[in-house]
Structure 1
């Protein structure tokens, strides 16, 4: 199995809803780690409809030795409704100010998550939110099999992608991990195709060789629901994305070498 980092350069391109839907429609066990520095756990809110208290978070790891992180992560993990033995969530912090206490946590947490994905045969998805606010959570990148950069496909969002992605490429180059990076576009809109007219080919022209994976269908109603089905445009597009990410992870591993190959 593999460890995937999900992030974006601008707000609301579908990172959180895609991660939740991925965990629901995947054929494999999936562990969600919500590490968005904004806090408040939208995953917990959407997934349980506000019925589950925010009584645990990644912040709890800060009071334990790093050698215990694998065990502690599983203790914190909450089974997702409908997939109790197949998908779990560890929520993010309650408020942004608490992220300051996690400066020394993300590195060893990344190592622990890589062990979980390898030894427990679980896909691990880490939502680090918007990249400009990610801070210390970028320490996770060196342990990831893929880094997935989500983008809306409006002209404004693609301008942000063109301006901001070179810095991310340079940072990943610095740890020998450029080939782990891929762009995931959010496609379609209820306002009509003319509002988001750009597809993978056009987006690939501004990413300087970074691969553009199959896009996720934009469906605000389905993405915001806590009742996931496996049919319909939105969940089917997420299933296609999973297949595309699996292939990208295999290709990245082939380029980079390494000790383990994603399943």
Structure 2
């Protein structure tokens, strides 16, 4: 269905927690890509509590790309999140690897978009804007890019100039409807209308301020009673509805002319070989 990229401008509004929460509540098979150039996988240290160490990570895709085998490598680099329909590509282990990824982002964007034809969506945690090695080509190739922000004055002040840059970038690419805001903690203290006015971008959805539930995703905490009905879980499902509706509106006119990427066959073959070896 889609390539969805989440990013932030300043502070720590919860991009990684949000990306993981969306992936784990997603209704279709989904690939979660940890593309934050900061280094040191927050997912492996947080949600997996340091107890999972995949053999490969994003840097291995960079090596595969240099060898001409990017599309085929994706199924091998991705790890299955137990008891879910989520596969994940872990991020780099150190910030010094960020420059090695700069040549990867553009071809990776094209390859990830081809997964739609396999019935698989992709959610990307792009980390914070402006860092060395930031995955901007993934952002601008996305069916939807969400700028994640809290709603307090400090967060909005930090996000304002970046929101303008991102908006202008999408306008230059002819995809101004492919970028929106995702707020965390609506009404703390500002509401969506006020946030949208300040940042000059539409607010697609708002996640509930629910620290007990967020800890499940951010630190692998024990799910509290009624977790599936918690404010955060409900708002994640509502956000998914908003994401899919927005993408449907912006891509409907292109659906009849979209052609499958040449990389699709290589990705599909890779998944089949992986399934055969792990069966």
Same fold? TM cut 0.5: yes
**What is the aligned partner in structure 1 of residue 215 from structure 2?**
224
Q: CA deviation at 1:119?
A: 1.9
The CA distance in 1 between the partners of 2:28 and 2:231, in whole Å, is 21
**What is the aligned partner in structure 1 of residue 81 from structure 2?**
80
Q: How many residues align?
A: 251
Decide which of 205, 228, 243 is 2:241's aligned counterpart: 243
The CA distance in 1 between the partners of 2:134 and 2:153, in whole Å, is 30
**What is the aligned partner in structure 2 of residue 14 from structure 1?**
14
Q: Name the CA shift for 1:160/1:255 in 2 (closer, same or farther; >3 Å).
A: farther
Decide which of 202, 206, 229 is 1:211's aligned counterpart: 202
The CA distance in 2 between the partners of 1:142 and 1:132, in whole Å, is 14
Q: Residue 179 of structure 1 contacts residue 256 of structure 1 at CA under 8 Å; is this kept in 2? A: no
Q: Residue 101 of structure 2 contacts residue 133 of structure 2 at CA under 8 Å; is this kept in 1? A: no
Secondary structure, counterpart of 2:126 in structure 1: strand
Q: CA deviation at 1:204?
A: 1.8
> What is the TM-score normalised by the length of structure 1?
0.88
Q: Name the CA shift for 1:218/1:72 in 2 (closer, same or farther; >3 Å).
A: same
**What is the aligned partner in structure 1 of residue 262 from structure 2?**
none
Q: CA deviation at 1:61?
A: 1.2
**Gap regions ≥5 residues in structure 2:** 260-279
**Gap regions ≥5 residues in structure 1:** none
Q: Name the CA shift for 1:134/1:239 in 2 (closer, same or farther; >3 Å).
A: farther
**What is the aligned partner in structure 2 of residue 109 from structure 1?**
108
> What is the TM-score normalised by the length of structure 2?
0.83
Q: Residue 110 of structure 1 contacts residue 139 of structure 1 at CA under 8 Å; is this kept in 2? A: yes
| CA RMSD between the two structures | 2.1
Q: Deviations over 1:87-142 (max 9, x none)?
A: 111011001110111121111111110011x2221110011101121644101134
Q: Residue 2 of structure 2 contacts residue 143 of structure 2 at CA under 8 Å; is this kept in 1? A: yes
Decide which of 199, 202, 206 is 2:191's aligned counterpart: 199
Q: Name the CA shift for 1:64/1:251 in 2 (closer, same or farther; >3 Å).
A: same
Aligned ranges for residues 84-99 of structure 1 at < 5 Å? 86-99=85-98
The CA distance in 1 between the partners of 2:228 and 2:75, in whole Å, is 26
Q: CA deviation at 1:214?
A: 1.8
- More divergent stretch after superposition (59-68 vs 41-50): 59-68
Q: CA deviation at 1:159?
A: 1.8
